[in-house]
Amino acid sequence: MKKPILTIGRVVLTLLVVAFACLVIWRMVMYYMFAPWTRDGHIRADIVQIAPDVSGLIQQVQVRDNQPVKRGQVLFSIDQDRFKLALRQAQAAVADRQETLAQAQRENKRNRGLGNLVPGEQLEESQSKVARAESALAEAKVAVDAAQLNLDRSVIRSPVDGYVNDRAPRDREFVTAGRPVLSVVDSASFHIDGYFEETKLDGIHVGQSVDIRVIGDNARLRGHVESIVAGIEDRDRTSGSNLLPNVNPAFSWVRLAQRIPVRIAFDEVPQDFRMIAGRTATVSIIDDAAKDSAKPQAKPEASK
């Protein structure tokens, strides 16, 4: 009697193990195929390129490679001798225009005081000299402002809080106006770009919580979905020379799901976590609705 019971027990146990294994495999397949998660996540940040507004030789570099900087901190300065000379020249031109204007005003005042003794044409000419002298003085003052602006712009400051890239300029290098010299990683702009398959977009919504695991780090980060991109490049269509659509006639029967970028903002970051733009991360969307429904509902207080 015991032998059939043991046989039945073994069969039942085997069936339970097989059923449990099938359930686990089914859940894993469903999670892998349809759950909103991806291993194709990358830490991103805004890179601010620093280009001087004036040209010249670098006089002094006050930062080093990969150094953290604050907004307004001096990065480097350009030789100011030429700009100081230009400012002094503009200031001297202002003084000359002021003297010319004063002389024109004296002549105009004297002619007006003589009354009918001065011909009308001469009076108009003296008034015209005053107007031209005033315009010349205003132009000279603008030149002073421009020279002062160039002098101020010879000191290059960081526009954001962040980190200098790994190639800071060196002293006595010649820099050109408008040409980037270095870049600063904006520390306030760090975020995650997760590239999800389009088949998983139904489970992704703005505001949802996100679990973030960065490769090579045991830290657990939290964030939320900030936005979903509104468009991606269509590889099968281009614009011809006459702006008409040029559709690729070769159609592949094997269609892979497109990757849709999803921007994720950080909410919880450990203090000792090393934030580096370009690091790879695994991103998993948390079903907040299911999480909230699993919480026990608070019982209403009995009315007194």
* pLDDT at 304 (0 to 100): 39
Is the pLDDT score of 213 beyond 60?
Answer: yes
Question: How many CA atoms, within 13 angstroms, populate the side-chain half-sphere of residue 177?
Answer: 6
The per-residue pLDDT for range 63-91, each reduced to its tens digit, is 999 999 999 999 999 999 999 999 999 99
Quote the CA–CA distance of 59 and 30 in Å, as a whole number.
62
- pLDDT tens per residue, range 215-252: 988 889 999 999 999 998 887 777 777 778 888 777 77
Residue 30's pLDDT band (boundaries 50, 70, 90)? low
For residues 262-279, average pLDDT? 94
Q: Which fold has domain 52-77+157-179?
A: OB fold (Dihydrolipoamide Acetyltransferase, E2P) (2.40.50)
pLDDT digits (tens, 9 = 90+) for 45-66: 999 999 999 999 999 999 999 9
Mean pLDDT over 95-112 rounds to 84
pTM of the shown model = 0.74
Q: Where are the domains of the chain?
A: 36-45+187-294, 52-77+157-179, 80-153
Could you give the CA distance from residue 46 to residue 186 in angstroms, rounded to a whole number? 6
As a CATH number, domain 36-45+187-294 is 2.40.30.170
Task: Please tell me the predicted confidence (pLDDT) of residue 181.
Answer: 94
pLDDT at 53: 94
Query: pLDDT-based confidence at 302, cuts 50/70/90?
Result: very low
80-153 placed in CATH 3.30.1490? no
Q: How far apart are CA 212 and CA 275, in angstroms?
A: 13
Q: Give yes or no for residue 303 having a pLDDT over 60.
A: no
What pLDDT digit, counting tens, does each position of 107-164 carry? 877 767 666 666 666 667 777 888 889 999 999 999 999 999 999 999 999 999 999 9
pLDDT number for residue 6: 63
Q: Confirm if 285 and 210 have CB atoms less than 8 A apart.
A: yes
**pLDDT tens string 181-210:** 999 999 999 999 999 998 888 889 999 999
